[in-house]
Amino acid sequence: MARTSARILRLLSLLEARAEWGGDDLATRLEVSPRTLRRDVDTLRELGYPVEAIKGPGGGYRLGAGSRLPPLVLDDDQAIAIAVALQTAPATVAGIDDAVARALTTLRQVMPARLRAASEDLDLTTLRNYWEFSAPPIDVATLRAVGAAIRTQHVLRFDYLAPEPTLDGPAGDHELRPPRRVEPHHLLVWAGRWYLVAYDLDDRAWTVLRVERIRHREPPGPSFVRRALPDEDLGRYVRERADRGDTAAQWPCVGSAVLELPATLVARWAPGGSVVEDLADGRCRLVVGAWSWAGVAGLYVTFDTQLYDVQPPELAAALRQVAARFGGAHLTDAGGAPPPAPPRRSPRRRGGGSAGSGTR
């Protein structure tokens, strides 16, 4: 029975790997007779898999679309990928959070112990943001190494890529900074980017790191005892960190300006994919992008503060245009009557004659 079940699972895997199979080819790959192959196909159909027969010389089979969800067969990488996708799925449908949680629980219940541990290593917090966008890819090996270090409470040793933000597009060339040693505590995803909340052993301070810039070293460091977190709300902690290592997202228009506001405040309310640089004295520089220069200008207007060192000239022009447009708007006090409508022009008749003149 065990051998038969393994053969049926292999048959299913082969059917999923190719659009169509010849009957003789399938039988040869499975090392069975055509009669045994037909029995195995019937078994898959009883389980709910819509295996269709192909007519023609020699015949064949293909996997069609079914009317109900059959049992799934996943390899190790597929299982981990689904577990990560479920945890980072955007909650744009009402009530989907509960379904996602149940699906993740179901998947972990049937996982082998080694895969369950790997998926639980990536127990992370996902924060929603209206400005989510495609983020730099993360190496799977790095993600697993970070997750395992968090679960087993071992010091993470790695090299870190330093960003070089520019106004002309994505970050420029990167350079490896000196090796770092941190106590990793939590993974968090915000606006499509992965962050690690950790305690830096060299700086003796909490830090927020971008996971895709980590190049971990083998083997991991010694074990550590978990510390009290810097904030009970780690989501707020990450959002308010101006030094979390972000670079400007790849928007068509990206601008920069100095704001008379503290970096912690601007970092909290700036959209995902923006960069906040702390300039001290209660000021900061904000680099932010949008689809148009008017859109970038509108984002700066929302902070309602004085702007300095506005770059590039296109952004300065957009800000002047916004100021002129709203400066001439018809505004009233609360409860006041709206301004009178402009007079309507009388329609002109063809031929230039006046109404009632009888001219044709």
SS3 call for 116? helix
The reply to whether omega before 90 is within 30° of 0 (cis) is no
Percent of the chain with pLDDT over 70: 70
Residue 250 CB partners (closer than 8 Å, separation 6+) = 133, 169, 170, 289
Structural domains of the chain, with CATH: 2-63 (1.10.10.10), 76-121 (no CATH), 140-239 (no CATH), 253-327 (3.30.70)
Least confident of 42-51, 133-142, 242-251, 252-261: 133-142
Reported as a pLDDT band with limits 50, 70 and 90, residue 100 is: low
State the CB neighbour count (10 A cutoff) for residue 147: 23
| Residue 137 pLDDT greater than 50, yes or no | yes
The CA-CA-CA angle for residues 330, 334, 335, to 5°, reads 100
Choose from 15-19, 39-43, 232-236, 337-341 the range with maximum mean pLDDT: 39-43
SS3 call for 16? helix
| Residue 207 pLDDT greater than 70, yes or no | yes
| Residue 6 pLDDT greater than 80, yes or no | no
The DSSP string of 189-247 is EETTEEEEEEEETTTTEEEEEEGGGEEE-SS---B-PPPPPS-S-HHHHHHT-TTS---
| Residue 155 pLDDT greater than 50, yes or no | yes
Structure tokens at 233: 């709300």
Residue position matching structure tokens 């830096």: 200
- pLDDT (tens digit per residue) in 245-260: 777 777 889 999 999 9
Least confident of 51-65, 113-127, 221-235: 113-127
Rounded average pLDDT over 128-152? 73
Helix 293-301 crosses helix 313-327 at what angle (to 10 degrees)?
70
Rounded average pLDDT over 65-80? 63
Rounded average pLDDT over 44-53? 85
Residue 78's H or E segment, with its range, is: helix 76-87
Rounded average pLDDT over 72-76? 66
Residue 56 is given by DSSP the state S
Question: What pLDDT was estimated at residue 20?
Answer: 86
| Residue 154 pLDDT greater than 90, yes or no | yes
Rounded average pLDDT over 318-345? 68
Residue 34's H or E segment, with its range, is: helix 34-46
- For CA atoms 124, 127, 133, 136, give the dihedral sign: negative
Q: Does residue 187 contact residue 147 with C-beta atoms inside 8 Å? A: yes
Choose from 36-40, 242-246, 340-344 the range with maximum mean pLDDT: 36-40
Using CA atoms, how far residue 80 sits from 58, 141, 312, 359, in Å, is 39, 12, 44, 83
Question: What pLDDT was estimated at residue 356?
Answer: 38
